[in-house]
Structure 1
Amino acid sequence: MALHNRVSAAELKKRLALETIKRVTISFYQYAKIEDPQAFRDELYETLFKLDAFGRIYVAHEGINAQISVPEHHFETFKTKLYEVPFLNGIRLNIAVDDDGKSFFVLKIKVRDKIVADGIDDPTFDMANKGRYVDARAFNELSADPETVIVDMRNHYEFEVGHFEGAIEVPSDTFRDQLPMAVDMLADKKDKNIIMYCTGGIRCEKASAYMLHHGFKNVFHLEGGIIEYTNKAREQELPIKFKGKNFVFDDRLGERITDEIISECHQCGAPCDTHTNCVNDGCHLLFIQCAACAEKYNGCCSEACQTVHALPEEEQAALRKGVEKGLMFNKSRRRRKTAE
């Protein structure tokens, strides 16, 4: 069998729209030593393809990072197959909080240098020396202390639509930039209790190890991230201290945690936390847009993009040839302010 997809995205999306089966969106990760990432990747692709799984998975020498969608009737088989891998046996699976079953439409498994880009090149850095886990109950108890420092290790566009009460934002567009920034920002808090969190746990786990590596003493990280916290808090009927929406990196672009809307439309300022990508193929900027502005601008981030999007496809393609590639699919604050 071919170990990669050969069907067009348009056709795959059409097939997904016609599906009548129920799917479950799952995320998991594990830091572990993988001797041959390519061989592991190929074997995993064969297994998941046979289970009609979709998703995006990164494999590296340091482990695996996965976000996938599995047909509900294959879920137990998927779990069995996954747990047959020694370093994945019994691994925690984060089940999506707010799932429409349309999170992914294709299976992509890629070999990367790292499962999360961190910019760390210090040979003495050791992921084995990481912070202590806190679950939902422990998080609530520890965060109730006003001296506890809560640090959000996600990007600004994630923090913007939802975050924990009292959390500190590390204002950067990339995780690799956030790590040294967090060390600098918290330099005078090395003896305080510090809780780091992210979407599913992979970034805050590495961040906790990075902080310990730089001399911090009492570092914790939220087990399973926002997703696991929300599921456990609901199961145990605990107060949910996360407010708003949890941004996710799939076609949903977010899952509702609480009813609060803490952000606003980037175009008119109305309360809104709906992310979208500009429909202009020469832009695709990720931004927040309310329904009224989506209609007014035809799904574009600006009047300039709206004008371009209205042109015949041939003219749009000609214009894109002159677009600097670095400006496409850019989620940064700088890029959004330029569009505004």
Structure 2
Amino acid sequence: MQLYNTLSAKERAALIEKAGQDRLTLSFYKYHHIKNPQLFRNHMFLSWNEMDVLGRIYIAREGINAQLSVPAGNFKAFKEHLDSISFLENVRLNIAIEQDNKSFLKLKVKVRHKIVADGLDDDTFDVTDKGVHVNAEKFNELLDDPDTILVDMRNHYESEIGHFRNAITPDVDTFRDSLPIIEDDLKAHKEDKKLVMYCTGGIRCEKASAYFRHKGFKEVYQLEGGIIEYTRQVEAKNLDNKFIGKNFVFDERRAERISEDVIAHCHQCGKPCDTHVNCANEGCHLLFIQCEECAEKMNGCCSEACMDIVALPYEEQKALRKGRYKSNNIFKKGRSEVLKFKP
């Protein structure tokens, strides 16, 4: 019984091209108390592998977080499978604004301690005791209310390329870093302000909304479906779009453009740019913003040191990487000291 992916990304890409069929990129999440995450994980892998579903899925005792690529012809069967699972019946599916048949090239279903790492060790905190979900129209109304405080629950490299106007964008590397910072900064407004949060698809601000309710904030709201669903509703209902720039996404596309505004800068030359790339040196793989001119000049690398490595024969590059863990710079997402124009 096959319980793990057996094809390389290159092999899978070739199969996708040969099939010539459109695929849908989508995501969903659900907080739910899962008694046996490993058993549930195996069931999901076996079912989705048969449907040629690809993606990155995390399962924990607190629920499931899934980012997927599904063959368009198998979408109905995929949806029927979700609906056959009681707590996933009619779960909201966030369909990507911009589609790419190669957004995911492997099926990875992993059991984690939590589907969103929060750094919390509090048995009294109930992640299902969430704040009020609001749609795009209500969200816009709340943003026009002077008693609203709007908080971006994403990390600095996400909000750097796009965010809602007048949002607080914490300068953090991880979600777990943001919770205590936001609580401390806004503790004086637990009673008198409306705390409104948003993230990419809803999963982080849903946990955050439950956390801040747990911490005594009286009026807590979250944008249902996150930026992805907001964009869809704005277009469908002809609403005022209050998001500027790009929405960062965690697949091969890296971002979806929401407005024509370019609010970020190339980390190497400083010119306006909002294109994230990974350093071409596989031993580095740093995520940073690079314009086309710098990409050509630096051969897709973040530094001259990485350029020197990329210039070596591939086997020599592999030998240099052998036994070495990738630099923690990859997780700094643009804060590396080799970059001149850091956020």
What CA deviation, in whole Å up to 9, does each residue of 1:293-327 have, x standing for no partner? 11111110111211121122343334335856442
Q: CA deviation at 1:20?
A: 1.2
Q: Map of 1:93-112 to 2, 5 A cutoff?
A: 93-112=93-112
SS of equivalent residue, structure 1 residue 212: helix
d(CA) in 1 for partners of 2:197, 2:55: 26
- What secondary structure, in the 3-state scheme, does the structure 2 residue paired with 1:244 have? strand
* In 1: Cα distance, 2:319 partner to 2:326 partner: 14
Question: How many residues get paired?
Answer: 339
Distance 1:339 1:308, change over 3 A: farther
- Distance (whole Å) between structure 1 residues aligned to residue 323 and residue 92 of structure 2: 46
**1:281 matches 2:277:** no
Paired position in structure 1 for 2:224: 223
1:328 Cα shift? 5.5
Which range moved further: 242-251 or 12-21? Answer: 12-21
Number of the residue aligned with 2:25: 25
1:262 match: 263
State yes or no: 1:290 paired with 2:280: no
- Quick one: percent identity of the two aligned structures? 57
Q: Deviations over 1:179-204 (max 9, x none)?
A: 11111121222220111110000000
The runs of 4+ residues in structure 1 deviating greater than 6 Å are none
**Structure 1 CA distance for aligned equivalents of residues 303 and 327 of structure 2:** 18
Q: Which residue is equivalent to 1:331? A: 332
| RMSD of equivalent CA atoms | 1.6
Alpha-carbon contact 1:94-1:228 (below 8 Å) kept? yes
1:291 Cα deviation (Å)? 1.2
Structure 1 pair 9–100 and aligned structure 2 pair: CA distance change class (3 A) = closer
Do the aligned residues in 2 keep the contact of 1:279 with 1:299 (CA within 8 Å)? Answer: yes
SS at 2:146's partner residue?
Answer: coil
- For the residue of structure 2 that corresponds to 1:29, the secondary structure is strand
Q: Mind listing any 5+ residue stretches in structure 1 that lack a counterpart?
A: none
Measured after TM superposition, the shift of residue 333 of structure 1 is 4.8
- Taking structure 2 as the reference length, what is the TM-score of the superposition? 0.95
Which piece of structure 1 moves more, 37-46 or 308-317?
308-317
In 1, distance between residues paired with 2:53 and 2:323?
38
Which one is further off, 264-273 or 202-211?
Answer: 264-273
CA distance in 1, matches of 2:13, 2:176: 33
Q: Is the 8 A contact 1:208 1:219 kept in 2?
A: yes
- Confirm or deny that 1:3 pairs with 2:8: no
Mapping for residues 131-142 of structure 1, pairs under 5 Å: 131-142=131-142
Counterpart residue number, 1:202: 203
The residue identity in structure 2 corresponding to 1:259 is: E
